[in-house]
């Protein structure tokens, strides 16, 4: 009986609901308008706008779409949990608690997924930085201006850092000074390595210092940081590889080595 009620609640009722409101297009549009308005007015306590800006999704529509997705998933998970627990357990209090808990967990998981996406993009930019900075150094040493060198890299290279250079070039073409466009890139990409590079490049540009020397020094430093990062990852991988060796392979090897002796001792004792 419970299974029949569960199938009815999960499939028959939503299907009938969709059939009833299928012709109510105006009501659906009004609901979407209210949801978008609520998403725009929602507080940005988790700095969602700045994190989306770091991913290159700085428009207001991207923020509203993510909020709608977040709230929609939370509401769907809460409704599903409430229906399942209410049908199976017949306990309204437990159903409300499970709906609130699952909705909160859905909200946290979506926020954590966005954080992981930002972290991966930041690591990708830092891994691309040594090669891109060497290309920039060679282009400027060949006689190009910083703007033309960034334009060449933005047009010829593929990667997240090249996309950031595209944003810088687009900002300069729209009338923004180069130092302000670079400073905006340093604030947008929350990486210590990129921030130091931007500060050094802006300072050298404003003071007339030789850019090739500054970029060469940063290229050497970037290669050293990349080597240290690879060595650190290798060390962590080595430690993680020791876990199955110590806790799985070694005990089995000891057991195979001692089993004949233990068998013979038991035989002699008997």
Query: pLDDT tens digits, residue range 155-174?
Result: 888 888 888 888 899 998 89
pTM of the prediction?
0.67
Averaged pLDDT, 104-126: 90
12 or 252: whose pLDDT is higher? 252
Residue 36's pLDDT is 57
| Angle of helix 192-207 versus helix 178-188 axis, rounded to 10 | 170
Contacts of 150 (CB under 8 A, 6+ apart): 136, 165, 168, 169
pLDDT band at 131 (very low <50, low <70, confident <90, very high): confident
- Cα–Cα–Cα angle for 216, 222, 227, nearest 5°? 130
pLDDT score recorded for residue 8: 39
Work out the percent of the chain whose per-residue pLDDT is above 70. 81
Closest CA to 198 of 231, 164, 225: 164
Q: Which residue has the higher pLDDT, 261 or 128?
A: 128
CATH of span 123-227: 1.20.81.30
pLDDT the model gives residue 7: 37
Q: What is the mean pLDDT of residues 114-135?
A: 88
Average predicted confidence (pLDDT) for the chain: 79
Out of 55-64, 122-131, 207-216, which region has the weakest mean confidence (pLDDT)? 55-64
Q: Give 104's pLDDT tier (boundaries 50, 70, 90).
A: very high
Using CA atoms, how far apart are residues 85 and 95, in angstroms rounded to an integer?
5
Closest CA to 55 of 190, 197, 182, 157: 190
Q: For residues 162, 165, 171 and 176, what is the CA-based torsion angle, rounded to 10 degrees?
A: 180
Domain ranges of the chain: 2-19+45-119, 123-227
What pLDDT, in 10s, does the model give residues 18-65? 433 444 445 446 555 665 565 555 555 667 888 888 787 777 788 888
| Percent of residues, the chain, with pLDDT higher than 90 | 11
pLDDT at 187: 86
- For the segment 190-200, what is each residue's pLDDT rounded down to a tens digit? 888 888 888 88
pLDDT of residue 109: 93
> Taking the chain, what is the end-to-end CA distance rounded to the nearest angstrom?
60
Find all residues with CB under 8 Å of 148, minimum gap 6, and list them.
139
pLDDT of residue 16: 40
How far apart, in whole angstroms, are the C-alpha atoms of residue 134 and residue 85?
59
In this model, does residue 222 exceed pLDDT 50?
yes
| pLDDT score of 105 | 94
Higher pLDDT, 39 or 141: 141
């Amino acid at each position: 009986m419970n299974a029949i009620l569960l199938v009815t609640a999960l499939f028959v009722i939503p299907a009938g609901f969709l059939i009833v409101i299928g012709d109510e297009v105006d009501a659906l549009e009004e609901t979407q308008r209210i949801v978008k308005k609520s998403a725009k007015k929602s507080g940005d306590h988790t700095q969602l706008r700045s994190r989306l800006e770091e991913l290159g999704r700085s428009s207001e529509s991207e923020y509203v779409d993510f909020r709608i997705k977040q709230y929609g998933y939370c509401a769907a998970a809460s409704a599903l949990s409430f229906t399942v627990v209410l049908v199976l357990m017949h306990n309204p209090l437990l159903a409300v608690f499970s709906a609130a808990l699952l909705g909160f967990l859905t909200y946290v998981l979506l926020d954590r997924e966005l954080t992981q996406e930002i972290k991966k993009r930041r690591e990708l930019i830092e891994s691309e930085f040594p090669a891109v900075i060497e290309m920039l150094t060679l282009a400027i040493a060949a006689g190009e201006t910083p703007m033309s060198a960034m334009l060449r890299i933005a047009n010829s290279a593929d990667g997240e850092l090249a996309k950031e250079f595209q944003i810088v070039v687009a900002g300069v073409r729209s009338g923004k000074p180069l130092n302000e466009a670079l400073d905006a890139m340093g604030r947008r990409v929350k990486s210590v390595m990129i921030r130091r590079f931007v500060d050094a490049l802006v300072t050298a540009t404003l003071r007339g210092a030789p850019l090739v020397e500054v970029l060469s020094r940063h290229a050497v430093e970037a290669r050293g940081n990349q080597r240290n990062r690879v060595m650190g990852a290798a060390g962590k991988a080595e430690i993680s590889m020791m876990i199955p060796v110590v806790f799985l392979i070694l005990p089995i090897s000891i057991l195979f080595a001692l089993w004949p002796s233990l068998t013979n001792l038991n035989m002699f004792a008997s």
